[in-house]
Structure 1
Amino acid sequence: MFADRHIPGSGIPSAVTDAGDSVARLLAPVLAAGVDELAYFGGQPALSASRERLAGYRQSLAAAGLAEGADWVAERDFQRESGYRMMADWHAGNGRYPRALFTASITLLEGVLSFIRERHRMREAPQFLLTFDDHPLLDCLPLAVDAIRQDSRALAEASLSQALALLQGVALAERDIRVPASLNLRRLAV
């Protein structure tokens, strides 16, 4: 069985965060506020988590009636250095930061923040920063970062229940247990 990943058509059960829905819920208020530019920095396109997070992003744009800009989506891997590189490339190509930015992982956000700190000492940045994954250190930043908080306990429990069922000889067809995530909306708390 897969934990936090799934491969459609593999016949293997999995337990995953409901990433598409979580991303759509996180981005909807920003788009409803009139944001007309929302960049997406993601990881490896071949991973199920990457595909689902990007699908949630695109679902949000469509729901807001906003067409995706030609340079809004960049994908590499989930390494900190990739977040830095994608931010550097965006800034070099546009001469500014995007109005809003969603990173598909906190490691990508770390790279973005490193670029912002290094280049502009946090005095310039996207108006809205959003990320998948949360960490208490985000509470300490001078910039408000809204985040998706995965329910690690529920993911572990769902994974364990499937593993125990398999050990007991229960044949589990390919099915995804979708675990909802919560949102940490720091921007609204400011």
Structure 2
Amino acid sequence: MVARRRPTMKDVAAHAKVSISTVSYVLNDSGPVAPERRNRVLDAIRLLDYSPNESARSLKRRSASTIAMVVPDLTNQFFAMVTEGVQRAASAVDVLVVLVVPDATEQPEENQAKLLRSQRVDGVIYLSGTGSMPAAIYDLARSGPVVLVDEQIPGRDLPAVVCDSRRGAREVAAHVLEQGHRRLAVIGGPPALWTAQQRLAGYREAFAGAGLDPDSVPVHTGDYRLESGAAAAAAILDGPADKQPTALLCANDLMAIGAMECLKARGLRVPEDISVVGFDDLPMSALLTPRLTSVRQPAHEMGYRAAKVLFDLLEGNDDDAGELLATVVQIRDSVCPPRENR
């Protein structure tokens, strides 16, 4: 399904062969425009069936407007931090944020999307928990912009603000390999999610770069929640004794913390017996014992930038395809050389 793109002020300006400011003068009667140019603008408006975006006007006036933030759940501190970034950007321009948390309401995303459409929000920032997008959410793009954050969805040509997950995963895996680890296991995220795919691809690139067959490293799937990390670690430990890894690469911090709890319950020490790394660098990760090596994503900045992209779209700037932000490996105490190398 492809939503028909709403004509923008830029489209009107291009068709009428005038500047965007001239179009604004005509629409708002806010500046002098020669009669011939005014007629060209009015003709372009009629031909393109352009209607002024009221939410863009409210942003220009810095008066209240409304956007929606759809986030899987707020028990994941990373999601909460992204949401705080959105709120920070919205507060600066007096925009109200309607928070939609499908897991908290136990209502499917499709139902939530229909509710948003009935409320006529000006735009949506969407953080997927499934790797897909309900048709009703995408349909909102017919009346207002939708911006993805921390995710890209195949087949949906929508602006996205994401981090370089692939590079971050490659670099943290390289750090583990540099310590001498060769018996590894991955606890990955949901396979349908772009972030999980990118992180797994980054790990595999590091394995290949170190001369290790990527297919020889087992991958256990989690769902980015703490419990799934513990369950995956238990499944790994229950495997053959001669196949036990010396390091676990976890696709987010919550699963890494769950894995560490499982290892502790089994009488294993981190990192002396098994090294563990995570991804996201939640604030709590630096407070663990041992402190968790992780990949920092600027969560607040992602949310803030996603809101700024949305506001740009509401103001008629449809050239913004989103942003790719950098990640940084935070080396702490949860990785050391394997026992045989010490």
Provide the TM-score with structure 2 as the length reference.
0.50
How many residues are aligned here?
189
Residue 163 (structure 1) aligned with residue 310 (structure 2): yes
Matched residues in 2 for 1:108 and 1:77: separation? Answer: 8
SS in 2 for 1:160: helix
Unaligned runs of 5+ in 1: none
Identify the match of residue 74 of structure 1 among 220, 227, 241: 220
| 8 Å contact kept, 2:309–2:322 | no
Matched residues in 2 for 1:124 and 1:54: separation? Answer: 22
Matched residues in 2 for 1:124 and 1:28: separation? Answer: 17
Residue 109 (structure 1) aligned with residue 261 (structure 2): no
Q: Which structure exhibits the higher relative contact order, with contacts defined as CA atoms closer than 8 Å and separated by 6 or more residues? A: 1
- Could you say which residue in structure 1 is the equivalent of 2:192? 46
Cα distance, 1:94 vs. partner? 2.8
Matched residues in 2 for 1:188 and 1:40: separation? Answer: 15
Cα distance, 1:124 vs. partner? 7.8
Cα distance, 1:176 vs. partner? 4.7
| 8 Å contact kept, 2:168–2:328 | yes
Deviations, residues 79-103 of structure 1 (Å, cap 9, x unaligned): 2111111111110013375111110
* 1:156 to 1:123, Cα distance in 2 relative to 1, 3 A: closer
- Could you say which residue in structure 2 is the equivalent of 1:99? 246
Matched residues in 2 for 1:129 and 1:76: separation? Answer: 15
Residue 65 (structure 1) aligned with residue 211 (structure 2): yes
- Could you say which residue in structure 1 is the equivalent of 2:149? 3
Matched residues in 2 for 1:113 and 1:188: separation? Answer: 10
Paired letter, 2:182 = D
Matched residues in 2 for 1:126 and 1:114: separation? Answer: 14
SS in 2 for 1:6: coil
Matched residues in 2 for 1:167 and 1:70: separation? Answer: 48
| 8 Å contact kept, 1:5–1:15 | yes
Matched residues in 2 for 1:124 and 1:93: separation? Answer: 20
- Bigger Rg, which one: 2
Superposition RMSD in Å: 2.5
Cα distance, 1:167 vs. partner? 0.6
| 8 Å contact kept, 1:105–1:131 | yes
- Could you say which residue in structure 1 is the equivalent of 2:298? 151
SS in 2 for 1:2: strand
| 8 Å contact kept, 2:184–2:217 | no
* 1:126 to 1:151, Cα distance in 2 relative to 1, 3 A: farther
Cα distance, 1:29 vs. partner? 2.3
Percent identity of the aligned residues? Answer: 28
Cα distance, 1:73 vs. partner? 0.7
Residue 119 (structure 1) aligned with residue 263 (structure 2): no
Unaligned runs of 5+ in 2: 1-146, 337-342
Paired letter, 2:282 = H
Please say which of residues 178-187 and 126-135 is displaced more in the overlay: 126-135
Matched residues in 1 for 2:316 and 2:304: separation? Answer: 18
| 8 Å contact kept, 2:276–2:335 | no
SS in 1 for 2:276: strand
- Could you say which residue in structure 1 is the equivalent of 2:13? none
The 5 Å alignment of 1:29-44 reads: 29-44=175-190
